[in-house]
Structure 1
Amino acid sequence: MPKHRKQKKIKIYRITSYKKDKRSELNSDKFELEQQEIENNQDKHSKQDNPNKQEQSEPIIETSSHNLDIWDEISLKEIQAGEHTSLFTEQSNYQNINLLQVSDVRLYLDKQLQFSSVDEQIYHEALVHPIMSKVIDPKRILILGGGDGLALREVLKYKTVLHVDLVDLDGSMIDMARNVPELVSLNKSAFFDNRVNTHVCDAKEFLNSPSSLYDVIIIDFPDPATELLSTLYTSELFARIATFLTEDGAFVCQSNSPADAPLVYWSIGNTIEHAGLTVKSYHTIVPSFGTDWGFHLATNSAYVLNEIEQLYVVPTPRTLPSLLFPLFQFKEEHLEQRNLALLNSESNLILHQCYKQEMKF
């Protein structure tokens, strides 16, 4: 589930002017990122030359304040200081989890808003339905991330689905999604469906195990805020994921905002293409994010994505239009940033540097 949120409608205050000159700075940002990568490599060599130098172990999910959206943190403090109901609070092995209810139900992970029940269906429908409606008779589905069960809810609306594997690193997320009544109501008791199999493990660990092929793979990883999280968006991992697809299968990956984080967004798409896949990019407006949010569809067989702009058989009710053409259209200023896209690989992890650069206030 993505971490960076921009709020405007649901009493979460944002300052948007900090991005005013960002677009004109992307070329210089790219240079700075490359310079930073050189410095990082020099640091690594320095550590190798001085093996006695003490190293600090990196947690699975780093939560230091420089990786946080400060406005999400402010909004959470305001909510907690006022009238609200705490539905679930836990510091798991990987993250701080806060599920609370005000006028809506909201989930915060490490003080970052993950969803609001006001409009979470817009995000999850956009993540799930374009790919599920295009792949013919999807039977076997893999969801990487998505421990709240909301993407799973959308997948289970398709009667063709016979088997779903959901992989999430944090078992506390799945426990919450199975046991907190308000969230169970929101995800429509998705984890109690007999078609669902949950796996509490690292996605890369799961992908290193033998498995049957999948018609659809849905990637709902956290944003690449740290070097470790950046490893979830490498060309090598995308190539590995592609080997789990059936001949006519496809995967979709949440990819941050093409408006607020264009370098991150287009670099993810570029990295998927470098893994040898055909990619189609799209986005949708999510009001509670205060911006649009982007996704990339990918397949081993280009014909699978032909005429993807037309939805076929999609369960109702839904928030998406029957014609998806507008979702695949981008403003010229956003398309121009595609030329700056970088390649994120195991030997050159750069995406977290892009993320930090674009999240600057």
Structure 2
Amino acid sequence: MSAKAPNAKLATLLLGLSIFFTGASGLVGEYILSTLSSYLLGNSIEQFSITIALMLGMMGIGGWVQKYIDDSHLLEKFILIEMLLALLVGFAPLAIYAAFGFMETHFLLIQYAFVLSIGFLIGFEIPFIIRINQAYSSTLKANLSTVISADYFGSLAGALVWVYWMLPNFSIVINGFLLASLNFLIATVTVLYFNYHRLIEKRATSFVLIGITVLALAGGSLSANRWHLELQQHLYNDKIVFSKTTRYQHLVVTHNGKRDEYRFYINGNLQFSSLDEYRYHEQLVHPLMHIAPSHKNILVLGGGDGMAVRELLKYSDISSITLVDLDAELVRLAKNSEVFKKLNHNAFDSARICFPDINNALSVIGKREWIPYGDDINRSEKTGMKPMMFDVVHIDADKFLDRIANRNYDVVIIDLPDPTSIDLNKLYSSEFYMKLKRTLSKRGIIVIQSTSPFQTQKAFLCIGDTLHSAGFQTIPYHDNIPTFGEWGWYIAWKEESFSKETILKQMQQIASFTIPTRYITPQYFLSSTVFPKDFQNHTPPIVNTLMDPKLFLLYNQEAAYYE
């Protein structure tokens, strides 16, 4: 007896759900690969643009090629496509990560092979769904409407889920398996429904393929974190002791037992070594603090590791410190990790006001109320110490400046990562510096970490030119940080506040630093303001703006030269 024909509406619904999740998994799969390549190579705009463009191009090729496939065994072919797509999306992040570690010279070939394959299968699959669904749609326009709209809506849903749930909560490799498993589950339910109605002829082959895929995805999901750690370890010389992907970046801490050295990386880029970070942070903080006429209100942009704050807490005449760092996970690491606590001298024990809510934070920073956050308490109640204001706000630095236009800071310390991405580039733009200028007190002074004046000399000079375009006067200085190489900073102030001669005279009159330092002396700092003969200013000035991100381009071009 023949089986009852499938319900047309239910069959169309299941096929629509399949294409919905295919649209979601395909687009998010490309997001995963783009994000991974951005972590590994930097230059997120280039990685996302090329990846998405290649995917769309291959979707077109896949759609064209499918016309040569006959109509026999369409459901079995659909199963094969879904199996291949699930395995590619699931294992792609691990495979690309392995390629980067073991065959870096051919890494891009592996990466783009996965991108092209996933795009081809998505483009190949969509017409297959249309052809299968043709039997259950009354008209061609109804068929096309169901499939195409499901694909587009799936892409929208996938993008939203990726940004607001997957990326903040799961690692790249787990996201790959999560996405592949969900998509394959829906496809399998669809296949089982059609099998129930005896529309699948090669049942044994089909179920063997489904079983193989399920086992592969399950095994990959269970082993993903272990494989990821093992592959990641290959990229670092020293043992990884901490690894976490946050909503904004990938954090890694390594340890060299022989030297007892800890190194901290963000997206694979070294941020500090425990052996010499004090050299960098003393140069960042103390020259500025001895030049600034007032220390009453201090703003730190970046510096979520707590090292800059460690140096600031040596001063007794500070009324308030506000630290702005976008990534709460980084600050949590610096607050709770024994490694970071030892290095930053428990700096975040003084963060007695820490804000989980941005609007609440912006309404009370600089005031004396205590607002508990997590395990934070009023430390003065335990120790009898006089509390110093130390506000921690997790918000983008540019947005923070937009929302505190009515506050003035006497000292601003900018300790942000290098401009490796467009997101970071805006924090080195003329527009950003003009906002910063509005938040400075009349005699306020700032310091900015400014990349390497040797390896990225044009980028270093561009930062100075951009500061001048925003109405600042500057004094550049540099030093050799053994694990970084030659590094540079700018001290800057409103051009109407002081003459350059006044600042230089103040610098020369510093007889000694009034707080304890391990490395820097006034005399050494003065020598750091002298640059060698081969350090040449470019003409005309190069100004970095939001609409013309010259710094981002210069930095990546110069940095690539030394890789």
TM-score (norm 2): 0.50
Distance 1:293 1:345 in 2: 23
Moved over 6 A (4+): 56-59
Contact 1:262 1:337 (8 Å CA) reproduced: no
Query: Equivalent residue of 1:138, what SS?
Result: coil
Name the amino acid aligned to 1:332: K
1:275 Cα deviation from its structure 2 partner = 0.3
Name the amino acid aligned to 1:98: V
Which residue in the other structure is 2:436 paired with? 241
Distance 1:146 1:223 in 2: 13
Say which of 387, 391, 395 aligns to 1:201: 395
1:326 aligns with 2:326: no
Which residue in the other structure is 2:300 paired with? 143
Which residue in the other structure is 1:285 paired with? 480
Distance 1:240 1:114 in 2: 26
Which residue in the other structure is 2:327 paired with? 170
Contact 1:129 1:314 (8 Å CA) reproduced: no
Query: Equivalent residue of 2:263, what SS?
Result: strand
Distance 2:477 2:281 in 1: 14
1:232 Cα deviation from its structure 2 partner = 1.0
Contact 2:513 2:521 (8 Å CA) reproduced: no
Which string of whole-angstrom CA distances, capped at 9 and with x for unpartnered residues, describes residues 301-333 of structure 1?
224623253345441133012222211100111
Contact 1:123 1:286 (8 Å CA) reproduced: yes
Contact 2:291 2:506 (8 Å CA) reproduced: yes
Query: Equivalent residue of 2:522, what SS?
Result: coil
Distance 2:401 2:328 in 1: 18
1:101 Cα deviation from its structure 2 partner = 2.3
1:337 Cα deviation from its structure 2 partner = 3.6
Which residue in the other structure is 1:4 paired with? none
- Root-mean-square deviation (Å): 2.7
Distance 1:81 1:278 in 2: 42
Name the amino acid aligned to 1:107: F
Query: Equivalent residue of 2:480, what SS?
Result: strand
Say which of 50, 57, 65 aligns to 2:41: 65
1:357 Cα deviation from its structure 2 partner = 1.1
Contact 2:233 2:240 (8 Å CA) reproduced: no
TM-score (norm 1): 0.76
Query: Equivalent residue of 2:531, what SS?
Result: coil
Unaligned runs of 5+ in 1: 1-53
Query: Equivalent residue of 1:332, what SS?
Result: coil
Distance 2:430 2:464 in 1: 10
Matches within 5 A, 1:74-153: 77=233, 84=239, 86=241, 88-102=242-256, 103-153=260-310
User: Quick check: 186-195 or 349-358, which moved more?
Assistant: 186-195
Which string of whole-angstrom CA distances, capped at 9 and with x for unpartnered residues, describes residues 43-73 of structure 1?
xxxxxxxxxxx9x9897x94241559x99xx
Higher share of residues assigned helix: 2
Which residue in the other structure is 2:556 paired with? 356
Q: What is the number of equivalent residue pairs in this alignment? A: 299
Name the amino acid aligned to 1:228: D
Mark the CA change 1:186 to 1:275 in structure 2 (over 3 Å): closer, same or farther.
Answer: same
1:136 Cα deviation from its structure 2 partner = 2.1
Contact 1:262 1:338 (8 Å CA) reproduced: no
1:239 Cα deviation from its structure 2 partner = 1.1
Which residue in the other structure is 1:44 paired with? none
Distance 2:328 2:558 in 1: 31
Say which of 467, 481, 488 aligns to 1:294: 488
Mark the CA change 1:66 to 1:251 in structure 2 (over 3 Å): closer, same or farther.
Answer: closer
Distance 1:245 1:81 in 2: 43
Name the amino acid aligned to 1:302: F
Say which of 305, 322, 327 aligns to 2:503: 305
Name the amino acid aligned to 2:395: C
Query: Equivalent residue of 1:279, what SS?
Result: strand
Query: Equivalent residue of 2:403, what SS?
Result: coil
1:243 Cα deviation from its structure 2 partner = 1.1
Query: Equivalent residue of 2:458, what SS?
Result: helix
1:85 Cα deviation from its structure 2 partner = 6.0
Name the amino acid aligned to 2:527: P
Distance 2:506 2:548 in 1: 32
**Aligned-pair identity (%):** 31
Query: Equivalent residue of 2:534, what SS?
Result: helix
Query: Equivalent residue of 1:125, what SS?
Result: helix
Query: Equivalent residue of 1:260, what SS?
Result: coil
User: Quick check: 340-349 or 234-243, which moved more?
Assistant: 340-349
Matches within 5 A, 1:336-347: 336-339=536-539, 341-347=541-547
Distance 2:296 2:451 in 1: 28
Name the amino acid aligned to 1:241: L
Contact 1:169 1:201 (8 Å CA) reproduced: yes
In our comparison, the structure showing a higher alpha carbon Rg is: 2
1:338 Cα deviation from its structure 2 partner = 3.7
Contact 1:263 1:341 (8 Å CA) reproduced: no
Distance 1:338 1:77 in 2: 41
Contact 2:292 2:411 (8 Å CA) reproduced: yes
Mark the CA change 1:248 to 1:254 in structure 2 (over 3 Å): closer, same or farther.
Answer: same
Query: Equivalent residue of 2:264, what SS?
Result: strand
Name the amino acid aligned to 1:305: I
Name the amino acid aligned to 2:548: N
Query: Equivalent residue of 1:359, what SS?
Result: helix
Distance 2:264 2:531 in 1: 29
Distance 1:338 1:81 in 2: 37
Query: Equivalent residue of 2:560, what SS?
Result: coil
Distance 2:391 2:38 in 1: 28
Which string of whole-angstrom CA distances, capped at 9 and with x for unpartnered residues, describes residues 264-303 of structure 1?
00000000001011111111111111x2110111111224
Matches within 5 A, 1:261-272: 261-272=456-467
Name the amino acid aligned to 2:407: S
Mark the CA change 1:90 to 1:345 in structure 2 (over 3 Å): closer, same or farther.
Answer: same
Contact 2:39 2:268 (8 Å CA) reproduced: no
